[in-house]
């Protein structure tokens, strides 16, 4: 979670470049998530707003590609999963903030 209260999840989808199932565990709604990934990793690509009373629930984003392989990314507001600039810099060493 960023200081702004944004929930973050990291997914390395590999070859999930043609997604047919794209939704969250509580709805199939479009919440601004990408529907196409370029090759390699795409960290910190988008954010998702959650209700104020989300608490320590878990958000699951489900993706299914051409090969019918299903990938899932998990996000939570639990303190152990907090994302700060130091964590981001270790994941995206080439990025200049």
Q: Is the pLDDT of residue 25 over 60?
A: no
Q: Which of 34-38, 49-53, 70-74 has the highest mean pLDDT?
A: 49-53
CA distance 10 to 20: 19
Burial 47-78 (b: 16+ CB within 10 A, else e): beebeeeeeeeebebebbbeeeeebebebbbe
> Tens of pLDDT along 5-18?
544 454 554 544 44
Confidence of residue 3 (pLDDT cuts 50, 70, 90): very low
Average pLDDT of every residue of the chain = 68
Cα 15 versus chain centre, distance: 16
Sign of CA dihedral 8, 46, 63, 70: negative
Please compute the mean of the pLDDT values over residues 65-81 and round it to a whole number: 80
Please compute the mean of the pLDDT values over residues 47-67 and round it to a whole number: 81
Contact by Cβ (8 Å): 53, 66: no
Please compute the mean of the pLDDT values over residues 10-32 and round it to a whole number: 53
């Amino acid at each position: 979670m960023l200081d702004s209260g944004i929930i973050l999840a990291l997914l390395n989808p590999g070859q999930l470049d043609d997604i047919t199932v794209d939704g969250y565990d509580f709805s199939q709604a479009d919440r601004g998530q990408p529907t196409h990934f370029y090759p390699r990793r795409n960290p910190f690509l988008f954010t998702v707003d959650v209700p104020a009373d989300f608490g320590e629930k878990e958000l699951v984003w489900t993706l299914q590609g051409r090969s019918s392989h299903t990938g899932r990314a998990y996000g939570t507001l639990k303190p152990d999963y907090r994302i700060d600039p130091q964590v981001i810099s270790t994941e995206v060493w080439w990025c200049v903030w």
